[in-house]
Structure 1
């Protein structure tokens, strides 16, 4: 009876093959044959049968083993050994054992110089292969890994065979075999070496040098590294015509357990280069003392002199592919062997270190009969076995440092390459590579490799979209590519459409044994129960990133507890650290596909009422914190309407951590607030929606975040209108009115403010009505309708006083003072502005105080107090610059420039005007731009650059006419007339004055009278 695993699994009795086994029976037999004469644990067999074992895995396994025993001939030595099974067979009974023995003997013959005998033995061994190992058997998990190890042994045998045949002389068949091998695995440096040597010995020097160039191109393009020293030296020898007498290669008897290299590996050049450099630190000679490797026990190894490289990253990001790729590239640096094991650290039952050591020892040739029991004893034997050698140990998917310590060699001739979802920061002197998702360019290159460059080029926009929908996750891109490759009749656009539906995206990202969902599930299942629940609930939030307080609100737990749970999610790469906010607090985000999975888990495992309650708490926390930021910015609960929304109390710790600087809060949460307002709207939480939008309004205004201001107000407006919430609608319309005024959209501002006033009156909210009146008064003032503005300010003052809103009263005082100032009544204006400065200081509204101080500076300038004005403007500028308020900074810079101009400090004035103009243009504030240009024209005029002054003033007139800003337009026309007169063009001057008089006639009688005097004085001169 014989068993075959080097091809389809088969059993032969008397030369006749038994009937085919079922898929699972074949998989069980394949697993046993790959570890023949060694007990295979139940867990290992289960991992070989299922990537995601069902709950019935154990009884199902018992059934498959029982069926297998019945199918096998009588006398088959298949035994139960503890919680596992043992298949015993002789070397001649299993083709894999025969292959391994023949290869080992062939290498010994080659070492003794018996090349012809070695060639014959290599040929007999390679002839045993009938196809891929276990071909036709469904390969999962551990079984797939073991099969790839066997395939790698065959590749090494092919290379050794080629090397020995070269000793007998160059033959074209060797060259063709090596070319076929390199077509499959182009990054094999040893194969390139042998090909170049074979070509050179065959007298094909040009082809040998061309092969070197191709080898270098591949290595540089794919790995970002130059060929190794051996290849470079061979090229030099070929150039010099002096070929080496022998072939350097891995030492005879060297083992390789590495899975096959990835033929279509792309990108990751920086990570490849860093890892190769780290591992090559161990290329020196191994310690000669035989006891060096046994100095430490399993718990206390001495790895400090052993190069360690850890590749960490989320599931599906390509850690294993990268590690295997690196390991193959550095194989020649570790000629005694390359050990590999999948430690299954992300699964519920990680590989036990004692079991891993047993597998390594068997691979190293230690007889299972002499393999000691116990972790410490095995670790000592393992390190002793490696002590005088140069081995690379690849530990894939490690759970933690405790699992790793027993598996670390103790001597510097060895090196260790580790992959893990965890960061493993406790490993001594390890070089850690944190593997991110693929950049879009590399992900697109991978897709092209999978589906063909021509197919990708036919639909470039769809290819780009596919990569984006996969989030740059290599596993997702590979699955998408595999699906497309399997369906050549389908267009890329069809898969794009299917992936665009987030509810079915993970269903689509599954092909064969690969699935993004399964990869994510590994990390999720390893979490504690509270962390799993947090993961699910975080998936329900629409915000792209968030701080730990959001987790505290979702679970209704203390902040410190929430931070610990988030740390657990970050540790297993189910959350990424998105950076830190200006207050120094960490922010977190999901990968797009991880968010989809989290939401799936929530919808499957969280009752709807629990989902709703958690999301409401989080949205209530956004409102509470946004409102508190507004209070801290404005000195109190001023200019802010409240609704009936329940708030989640964030607690003093969260408030102090995040709201020490309220504008830092809005910098960090601007996108979060927009997303939260949108989520409120989608859930129909109209009251919470308008309150949050209104609470953020003045924060957005201060930072000039006009897009966020507009989006939140418009979203809230649709929501409250759908709900028939009239008070909410009035509040949002007032917010939109303020936005339109800030962006010089006065016509639209007037329309929405009229509607806001009407609705506030309808619902009887007179405080809201007063707030809207303040905005309406501002509109009248800007457009020069001073009587209407004063009437609105007066009516608003009554409502604000009744509500106790002293903060909004400051805006009334400032507005009335501004009207007096605009009409030339400087003495009347000053008390209002001084009261505004004083009241803003008393309520703690530092922003309003500095705005009032700027107006005071303008009055001081008009009253010929330039030094006092300079001080007022400088104080405001310092404050606004520290606050990070662009409009305030520009406003103060403009005022200070005016003071410098009055003091004839022209250089300082020009510098300040340049800064103010750049700021106003950056926030697209046209009125501010016009005001800066007006003063710049004054600067040109003071320097007697009259043509430049006239050109600038014409620009100001055009801007103010378009806004419209009639008073500013009239003042610019008046100044343009003055400049024309000074330039000697009196006719043009009178024309400009006449236009100015027409514009100012109804809005500023005092300034209009001044122009009338000018016109009368110069009328006769024209005639």
Structure 2
């Protein structure tokens, strides 16, 4: 069981045919009864629980008849992955990007159930943390689905909810011997020594691989290892299997070279899902070539794994062993210094990439740090890096805050925000920014408090937690006043206005937009004109809500005039046109609205904004219907309906009804 979001794989995979056949029988019985198949597989770390589930999915592909969705219940630092994030990940593996997903956990759950209805697939929650995670992932209306949880422990609460338990036994002697010989490669040792070494592994695949890796290419080491393990055999047999495994790893660790042992301990302390050679070099204070050489040596010894993207990872039980050895030799100060090195490396790497994703203003000292670190990246390259490092950045924020490193924690949040915003990762957004805000307070940084309350408030607003959003923006405004930061003051007033508008208090919202505009007039260029244009766009939507369509159109045209000057404001150019078209339609002028909607459609498409594109197709369908152009209206409705159906959007039903109501064409 591990912290990666990809299925683990064992090659060769041996001697688990009986348990996989029993799992397949359970799936067939569940389908005969018309219910999703619920299973959980439990067993000690190192016994091959996760690999068993992967092999089951591969071996019974025809029975499953659908995709494999792999999720992880816990992070490397032991914290639980929130259900909302699990649903986001699951929906992405169904082909629904985060930008096309709803904001709240409840809405995501509704979408998940809609998407799953009638489908066949297998969803695995590896290393589950709570039963609530598992129950939230069982689809109601997918009798062909298979939901599998894995756990180191038996979970009787799952059994009471219809989950069938399975637990692999230790490998039998013949399979263990085969696995050991595969690990040895062309290295030959005598049969008696082989049998005894394998027997000492107790049928645990992980131990067999680690032991074989120590002997591969060095057959003279076999007698030495065997003698040492013989001496400890009685002690080994006195322990339970979990303790036995830790003690068994002593033989491997004691034979590591000094640099390998140092890397093993140091990297085991990191709360990282996977890590690059560059990150390892940074915390080890080695050059990249030296770090790479030691990492590859640890891979050869099966103490680390490496994937095709050259990302390294510990098996969880081996990470625990490495961490315990580090804690035995590092005092609290040294451990904090190690975390400081790791989190500082992430701050250096995250800042320039965060800047590539966002043109939002940052406060000092974040701007000073960004200038000092340097580095330029394209938006595409930055997004790709965040996709890989997402879990580690969140872990770095938690680690920095937990180790009293506030000057690292809160600037890291500032740089992380845009990625979280773009991908709708609201659980992680709120969680990391709560820590980041606490860090800014600990750092006595009014600038950090001003920025972090603004970013955290935006997260609360996105999920409809209006009171908390309003509180954050009010605190951001207070901090801005203390600092005399006019841009922060203007932004906070605008956000409060947006919050009030979302709550339906349009009159009060307009008052805050007016106050924000007064402050915006004092902001230096070039921020001033953009802030004023954004306020025009906000007011235009509010006037639509108030049915003041002429004023809404005037405000939106002012915003359009500004944003049309820039090539990188595609989304705002489209949004302004969408408001203008809605105002024209409301004033019974659909003919004038159509070309404006087609311009908006082209701009949304250019920005790959699929939800907004579908919404525009839907509005074009309504407008064409009003003008009697039913054939073209049907085409637009169908395009919108295809998208809404794909992503489980509740607008699918009303769009389908509008399409069905069109006169014969």
Fold-level similarity (TM above 0.5): yes
Tell whether the 8 Å contact from 1:818 to 1:855 is kept in structure 2 after alignment. no
Cα RMSD (Å) of the superposition?
Answer: 4.9
Q: Is the 8 A contact 2:407 2:443 kept in 1?
A: no
1: CA distance, partners of 2:474 / 2:55? 65
TM-score by length of structure 1 reads 0.39
Please tell me whether residue 629 in structure 1 is matched to residue 353 in structure 2: yes
Residues 917 and 605 (structure 1 numbering): CA distance in 2 closer, same or farther, change over 3 Å? Answer: same
- Tell me, yes or no, if structure 1 residue 602 matches structure 2 residue 602: no
Aligned twin of 1:873:
601
Aligned residue for 1:586, secondary structure, equals: coil
Q: Which of 753, 770, 773 is residue 490 of structure 2 equivalent to?
A: 770
376, 379, 397: which one aligns with 2:212: 397
Q: Aligned to 2:461, which of 737, 741, 751? A: 741
Structure 2 residue aligned with 1:619, among 330, 343, 346?
343
Of 552, 556, 560, the residue aligned with 1:834 is: 560
Residue 919 to residue 398, structure 1, CA distance change in 2 (3 Å): closer
- Given that 1:549 and 1:650 are in contact with CA atoms closer than 8 Å, whether structure 2 keeps it comes out as no
Corresponding residue of 1:672: 392
Asked if 1 retains the 8 angstrom alpha-carbon contact of 2:346 and 2:396, the reply is yes
Aligned to 2:424: 704
Cα deviation, residue 682, structure 1: 0.8
Question: How far apart are residue 779 of structure 1 and its match?
Answer: 2.3
CA distance in 2, matches of 1:757, 1:716: 18
1:673 Cα deviation from its structure 2 partner = 2.1
| Structure 1 residue 698, shift from structure 2 partner | 2.0
The structural deviation recorded for 1:700 is 0.8
> How far is 1:712 from its partner?
0.9
Q: Is the 8 A contact 1:639 1:771 kept in 2?
A: no
Matches within 5 A, 1:496-507: none
CA distance in 2, matches of 1:720, 1:271: 43
Post-superposition Cα deviations, 1:805-857, rounded to whole Å, max 9, x if no partner, equal: 8876663453245456663136523443324533552xx4xxx5224323324
Superposed displacement of residue 320, structure 1: 10
Change beyond 3 A, Cα 1:517–1:795:
farther
Equivalent residue in structure 1 for 2:513, among 790, 809, 816: 790
Find the partner of 2:310 among 582, 586, 609.
Answer: 586
| C-alpha deviation, 1:649, in angstroms | 8.2
Match of 2:616 in 1: 895
Q: CA offset at residue 707 of structure 1? A: 0.8
Query: Is 2:301 aligned against 1:568?
Result: no
**3-state SS in 2 of match to 1:397:** helix
CA distance in 1, matches of 2:236, 2:197: 26
The count of residues paired between Structure 1 and Structure 2 equals: 465
Counterpart for residue 853 of structure 1: 574
Indicate the SS of the match to 2:549: coil
CA–CA separation in structure 2 for the residues paired with 1:522 and 1:648: 48
Identify the residue that residue 235 of structure 1 maps to in structure 2. Answer: none
Distance 1:809 1:622, change over 3 A: farther
* Paired residues for 1:57-136 under 5 Å: none
CA gap of 1:322–1:619, structure 2 versus 1, over 3 A, is: farther
Change (3 A) 1:269 1:575: closer
User: Which residue number corresponds to residue 911 of structure 1?
Assistant: 638
- CA–CA distance in 1 between the matches of 2:379 and 2:295? 21
Cα separation, partners in 2 of 1:889 and 1:219, compared to 1, 3 Å? closer
- Higher RCO, 1 or 2 (CA under 8 Å, sep at least 6)? 2
Q: Are 1:891 and 1:916, in contact at CA under 8 Å, matched by a contact in 2?
A: no
Cα-to-partner distance string for 1:587-614 (whole Å, 9 max, x where unaligned)? 3322222222222333334465554333
Partner of 2:97: none
Which residue in 1 is equivalent to 2:191? 339
C-alpha deviation, 1:865, in angstroms: 4.1
Deviation at 1:866, TM superposition (A): 1.7
Alpha-carbon displacement from aligned partner over 1:680-714 (angstroms, at most 9, x marks no partner)? 12112223222222322221111111111111122
Aligned to 1:641: 363
CA contact (8 A) 2:364 2:447 kept: no
- The 3-state SS of whatever aligns with 2:454 is helix
Q: Is the 8 A contact 1:222 1:266 kept in 2?
A: no
Shift of 1:620: 1.9
The counterpart of 1:716, out of the listed 436, 448, 466, is 436
* Equivalent in 534, 537, 540 of residue 814 of structure 1: 537
Structure 1 pair 565/339, CA: closer, same or farther in 2 (3 Å)?
closer
Task: Give yes or no for contact 2:574–2:604 (8 Å, CA) kept in 1.
Answer: yes
Change (3 A) 1:576 1:326: closer
Asked if 1:532 is matched to 2:252, the reply is no
Change (3 A) 1:395 1:878: closer
Displacement, 1:748? 2.9
